[in-house]
Amino acid sequence: MKHFKLLITSCLALTLFTFSQCKKNKTEEPQLPPETTIGAMTFGCKVNGKVFVPKDGRGRPGLYVQYVNLGPGVGGGWFLNIPATNWVPSTPEGVGIGTDSLLVVEGSIYPFKYRKKGYPNANYYNGPQYETSDNNSGELKITKFDKINRILSGTFFFTGTDNSNGQTVNITEGRFDIRY
């Protein structure tokens, strides 16, 4: 009986040891951040159906934000710059949202244009650069603009075109919740 208990105990210990050494090789798919309006410093979208979220790397932040007023007159106005970059792969991948001379208004929807004053523009890059144009569809919606707490939140979608070869990329379900 003593040997039987020892055999059972040894088998149990071996089984527990074997299963404790198993590693899950399953890689979790990234998820889009929730749509919030609290200044959570989040950004995400889908690039041709695949989730994109910026990641830090190479000593650089994955999400950087600027919303500044360069004053009145020629060359002035409000400029927004949100470069969201995934630095982890060997070729960085990113989505950029920007404005030229545009004071955004909460609740407003703006069509993306190609580098025009008073409009937002957007791009996607992963080696090639895909940019919005006057012919591509897409829009930026400002869901929150809190000047006191410096919070800017919104959603976006667009089609970008690589001007060198005409290929396109579809950016959908975009959202950001930033502090500037």
Residue 27 lies in a domain: no
Q: What is the pLDDT of residue 18?
A: 45
Helices in 124-180 by DSSP H: which ranges? none
Q: What is the pLDDT of residue 19?
A: 46
Which residue segment(s) compose the domain that 105 sits in?
32-179
Tokens of 38: 């609290």
Q: What is the pLDDT of residue 15?
A: 43
In this prediction the pTM is 0.80
Residue 5 lies in a domain: no
The residues, ordered by sequence, that sit 6+ positions from 5 with a Cβ below 8 Å of its Cβ are none
Based on the structure, what is the number of domains in the chain? 1
Residue 24 lies in a domain: no
> Which regions in the chain score pLDDT beneath 50?
1, 3-21
Residue 22 lies in a domain: no
Distance CA 45, CA 54 (A): 10
Q: Residue 93 region, left (φ>0) first, then alpha (ψ -120 to 50), else beta?
A: beta
Q: Assess contact for 113 and 146: CB atoms under 8 A.
A: no
Q: What is the pLDDT of residue 157?
A: 98
Residue 163 lies in a domain: yes
Residue 6 lies in a domain: no
Residue 112 lies in a domain: yes
